[in-house]
Amino acid sequence: MIVTRYWKVDQGIGTEIGMELAEAARLLQIGETVAFPTETVYGLGADATNTAAVEGIFTAKGRPSDNPLIVHIADVEQLSSLILSDCVTADHRRLMEVFWPGPLTIVLPVKTGGISSLVTAGLKTVGVRIPDHPVALQLLREAGLPIAAPSANSSGRPSPTLASHVKDDLNGRIGGIVDGGATGVGVESTVIEIAAGELYILRPGGITSEQLQSALPAVRIHEPEREEVQDSDTPRAPGMKYTHYAPKGFMHIVQGENTKAVAEWIQNDINAAKIRGESTGILTFEERASRYHADLVIVCGSLSQPETIAQDLYAALRQFDQRGIQYIAAEGCPETGIGLAIMNRLRKAAGHRLVRV
């Protein structure tokens, strides 16, 4: 156990750097780990050029060392120390102009000697982004370093959208937490790579496929495969967690065109779990919530404004654990716009178990 420092800062921060951020930046400079808010989720930052510091991230999170980290910078000038500038194409530049600062991570060929090879997990590429959050930007400027930062959760748990989530997972394991209130988007950045002139979405996120297409109308965009298993194909093994974002209880997604049939299926499924003696939970949306009865019904945003679903998703998944819920049915949402990222996270949280009604 180490003592984790805690600073509360104002979201509407001015140009003056406060004492709190100055101290947090100093901790980063001396090789410690500091959690900070971004517009997507809280990140756990460390100096990307310092291998011992980056090791601190992997240890605190319990993260497998073959999963590379995103590097956060304050401005595009910092790019040249990290990546091979010759490989930056007009399409890359256009994406940076349109979406930075913002929730888009661009994977580019890494410059040798620029950052620790732990950051890239030995790959020849590095993912980079400029976060669109006043606190993150001030911290990055003050530290004057490229900062490697995965989401600030224990590996496998839902990403943190509040400083209290970071505290729950990492208190006593990291140098400090900058509390800047709730994050905005709620799901992580979109990770993309351009190869042979075509754009690959490696992880859907805050910037949608539609937004990318309108920035680069002539470029072919590849969305990731949607993994899915039939519910009955997978043995129910709540203890075995190779899933991400997963609540501790069993969870599956129920989806279908006929919303009445979906609601009936879910309620019957939950009633059966109740009879087996399990505590039950349902994840649903404002429009549907009144149909359900369970020990915990979580209303996760509104289908008419899918951004609100993204904002609430991780906190909702954490609530099931806080209440010790053993059996969960989650409604799916349409996979357009931000819905692609929402369903990507929900599928992982549900171990890819999906029931089509």
Using CB under 6 A, list all residues that contact ligand TXA.
38, 40-41, 43, 67-70, 103, 105, 107, 120, 123, 125-127, 131, 149-151, 188-189, 191, 202-203
Site string for Mg ion, 176-195 (x = CB under 5 A): --------------------
Please, which residue, 202 or 221, has the CB nearer to ligand TXA? 202
Cα separation, 74 vs 132, whole angstroms: 9
Render 260-274 in DSSP notation, one character per residue.
HHHHHHHHHHHHHHH
> Do 308 and 301 contact (CB within 8 A), yes or no?
yes
Residue 69 binds which entry of Mg ion, ligand TXA, none, CB below 5-8 Å type-dependent: ligand TXA
Cα separation, 189 vs 41, whole angstroms: 9
Please, which residue, 43 or 255, has the CB nearer to Mg ion? 43
Query: Least distance from C-beta 75 to ligand TXA, angstroms?
Result: 16
Query: Least distance from C-beta 315 to ligand TXA, angstroms?
Result: 16
Please, which residue, 131 or 301, has the CB nearer to ligand TXA? 131
**3-state DSSP assignment of residue 7:** strand
Please, which residue, 68 or 176, has the CB nearer to ligand TXA? 68
Render 329-340 in DSSP notation, one character per residue.
EEE----STTHH
Cα separation, 171 vs 1, whole angstroms: 9
Residue number with the shortest CB distance to Mg ion?
A: 151
Residue 127 binds which entry of ligand TXA, Mg ion, none, CB below 5-8 Å type-dependent: ligand TXA
Residue 203 binds which entry of ligand TXA, Mg ion, none, CB below 5-8 Å type-dependent: ligand TXA
Please, which residue, 32 or 169, has the CB nearer to Mg ion? 169
Query: Least distance from C-beta 121 to ligand TXA, angstroms?
Result: 8
The first and second tokens of residue 91, run together, are 């399409």
Q: Please confirm whether the linkage preceding 217 is cis (ω < 30° from 0).
A: no
Alpha-helical (H) ranges within the chain are: 19-29, 51-61, 90-99, 134-143, 163-170, 209-215, 259-275, 306-322, 339-349
Query: Least distance from C-beta 205 to ligand TXA, angstroms?
Result: 6
* Residue 22 burial (CB count, 10 A): 14
The first and second tokens of residue 191, run together, are 């990770």
Place of tokens 């349902």: 282
Stretch that binds Mg ion, among 79-87, 112-120, 128-136, 144-152 (CB under 5 A): 144-152
Query: Least distance from C-beta 90 to Mg ion, angstroms?
Result: 31
Of 209, 151, 156, 211, nearest in space to 183 by CA:
151
Query: Least distance from C-beta 181 to Mg ion, angstroms?
Result: 20
Place of tokens 């600062």: 101
Please, which residue, 24 or 149, has the CB nearer to Mg ion? 149
Residue 310 binds which entry of ligand TXA, Mg ion, none, CB below 5-8 Å type-dependent: none
Residue type, 10: D
Residue 107 binds which entry of ligand TXA, Mg ion, none, CB below 5-8 Å type-dependent: ligand TXA
Please, which residue, 88 or 350, has the CB nearer to Mg ion? 350
To the nearest 10 degrees (0 to 180), the angle between helices 306-322 and 163-170 is: 30
Of 144, 233, 173, 178, nearest in space to 19 by CA:
178
Place of tokens 């965009």: 221
Please, which residue, 70 or 300, has the CB nearer to Mg ion? 70
Q: Does 151 bind Mg ion (CB under 5 A)?
A: yes
Stretch that binds Mg ion, among 117-125, 146-154, 274-282, 326-334 (CB under 5 A): 146-154
Query: Least distance from C-beta 296 to ligand TXA, angstroms?
Result: 27
Binding site residues, Mg ion, CB under 5 A: 151
